[in-house]
Structure 1
């Protein structure tokens, strides 16, 4: 069987480093926050090109606290895309604000920057672009619109560790950047984890308090906060894995290039890398009108695949109260019916890539 993601292979490659780091963290008995988390915050924020990093328990918490730090609350509107994991929209909802959707660009699959301005109202307070699948959104037009209208830009970089927009690491481009360290991510914890990065010291201070019950110092609660703290063990594990992120990213990009070559003449559309983008391929998704047939074909040959995402958020029953209907965002809806995510992880072998590609070509002609 060829897995969609193979976390065991990655673990085996760094087993000794991980076990040494975990043992050190256990012996320190700093199980919540602590020195390993502080060190991770410094290392990861520097890696992103940002001044401050605040570690939290999940990527969703990172989004939630970034929105709160930016002053988003009841009655406000935040512009984002419906073609994303539901957490993007859930975090907006947690603040009492309303998500306002803009369709995706059908080529990049990220927010269509030409439609953002038309969605702005007097209640709009922020734009929340999603760097989907590891490809950055087109940030310069977003920043220009935000500046003209006095809006905050919060990057959802949950799938885009080490991705770059015109040479600048994502997360440090807008006012705040939010990352997830869910195990399957390009930089994944052995459990849950997240991070907010920013160059704004006020935002950093607010988020640091909010994640730990709103405390300015122990038992002195300035804000109504949350229990969103990162575990010390996850901090230690992520510090080890951060050292390998460059090599893993290069491997993902090489795998994507091999897929591109092998599928170049297949009747599937491979991912388009935008000219401004350094794509890190959290997901390698091909498009086909026969997506479901292809997925079944691969399943029969013991090749695991995924669908990211089969139902856009505006059509999810939980978010029917936003008032959208089928047909409102045609590019998002078509993408949800056509995209198929192929196996993608740094340890994927050339033989496995060839096997996946050959299986696709059996169903859809690949011309020699």
Structure 2
């Protein structure tokens, strides 16, 4: 049995006619940059997320940068975020000359611990950037309350959580600005890089649209400094082809994730879905002791695995200047040493999942 970590080929075969038709429509009209599919996709995404504005951008990393630029974050400002995430989260803060201020994570959800946020706020704090890790939203009710009290913006790094919800509201609609990624392996992925920013704020939406096209509000007129952050028309076309079946895929992910948890809860620490949350399992992540040995055993059995993320941001050489060594964020460090992700995608059948579970149980025996 050949087990794929993420099976994009199966998804393509399922949606081939629609994807091909959408791509060929772009090839026929030839508007490869900011073609009509981009605006069509933005309207569809805004409707799905439940916000007034969706701004398609080149990738999830640039989405974070555009969001912070729209909020006016400048050198010397501070942005509170998680150390247990992909480098892009902290990287974009630093790239703007601001300081990433790390706060440890909740051990159950792996997301920013709201109980620790307020103590990290200083007169220089401008925003809080929670990460909705692995496909489950951070605790936005608690975080937004703290932000409101201190007059701060909240940016959701929802690169892994598109399609997830919290108390009936979808990821992307839970904060001042929501950002996501359409990298191919994400819950909703294109066939290259892509991303989006979401907001209900008209002024912020206008600013983000300008920033993504070099700060331009009309041709060759630039009120603000921007960047090249456009979403390609071809990628928008792929996403439009995938979007109608996305709710079914979200449902499949929830079902497969819940089944994994039922079958593995007695041998490993499995994901916990918070009250009021749904989970899209961008990664299905368990915690194990002796991770390297377990991964080696699974590899021998033909089961691919991955680790997201083995080195927290505060221990990355790029952030050594912050002076936060080992022991600074013990919960994040403990998780980084133990987490391991199993194959997860909407087309994972029960026979394959049973084989994966058997291999995991054998490795942990």
Q: Which interval holds the TM-score relative to the shorter structure? A: over 0.9
Residue 362 of structure 1: CA displacement? Answer: 1.1
2:217 alignment partner, SS class? strand
Runs of 4+ in 1 over 2 A off after TM superposition: none
1:65-144 aligned at under 5 Å gives the runs: 65-144=66-145
Distance in 2 separating the partners of 1:323 and 1:200: 37
Counterpart position of 1:212 = 213
Counterpart position of 2:28 = 27
CA deviation profile, 1:55-107 (whole Å, cap 9, x unmatched): 11010010000001011111100000000011011111121111000000001
1:195-210 aligned at under 5 Å gives the runs: 195-210=196-211
Contact kept in structure 2, 1:138 and 1:276, CA below 8 Å: no
Counterpart position of 1:324 = 324
Counterpart position of 2:349 = 349
Distance in 2 separating the partners of 1:257 and 1:120: 37
Distance in 2 separating the partners of 1:352 and 1:342: 12
1:153-232 aligned at under 5 Å gives the runs: 153-232=154-233
Query: Normalising by the residue count of structure 1, what TM-score does the alignment of the two structures yield?
Result: 0.98
Distance in 2 separating the partners of 1:35 and 1:249: 27
Residue 297 of structure 1: CA displacement? Answer: 0.5
CA deviation profile, 1:1-51 (whole Å, cap 9, x unmatched): 312111111111101110000001111111011210001011101111110
1:217 alignment partner, SS class? coil
CA deviation profile, 1:158-191 (whole Å, cap 9, x unmatched): 1011111111111111100001000000000100
Residue 276 of structure 1: CA displacement? Answer: 2.5
Distance in 2 separating the partners of 1:188 and 1:228: 17
Gaps of 5+ in 2: none
Gaps of 5+ in 1: none
1:308 alignment partner, SS class? coil
CA deviation profile, 1:258-287 (whole Å, cap 9, x unmatched): 211211322x11111111211111110110
Distance in 2 separating the partners of 1:134 and 1:298: 23
Q: CA RMSD in A?
A: 0.8
Distance in 1 separating the partners of 2:77 and 2:127: 9
Contact kept in structure 1, 2:298 and 2:363, CA below 8 Å: no
Does residue 290 of structure 1 match 2:290?
A: yes
Counterpart position of 2:337 = 337
Distance in 2 separating the partners of 1:169 and 1:6: 25
Residue 213 of structure 1: CA displacement? Answer: 1.1
2:272 alignment partner, SS class? coil
Distance in 2 separating the partners of 1:294 and 1:240: 38
CA deviation profile, 1:99-151 (whole Å, cap 9, x unmatched): 00000000111000000000000000100000000111011110110011000
1:125 alignment partner, SS class? strand
Distance in 2 separating the partners of 1:204 and 1:44: 14
Counterpart position of 1:276 = 276
1:24 alignment partner, SS class? helix
Aligned residues: 364
2:117 alignment partner, SS class? helix
Distance in 2 separating the partners of 1:34 and 1:15: 22
1:304-319 aligned at under 5 Å gives the runs: 304-319=304-319
1:221 alignment partner, SS class? coil
Distance in 1 separating the partners of 2:131 and 2:185: 18
Residue 364 of structure 1: CA displacement? Answer: 2.1
1:15-54 aligned at under 5 Å gives the runs: 15-54=16-55
Distance in 1 separating the partners of 2:16 and 2:323: 49
Does residue 258 of structure 1 match 2:240?
A: no
Counterpart position of 1:62 = 63
Query: Normalising by the residue count of structure 2, what TM-score does the alignment of the two structures yield?
Result: 0.98
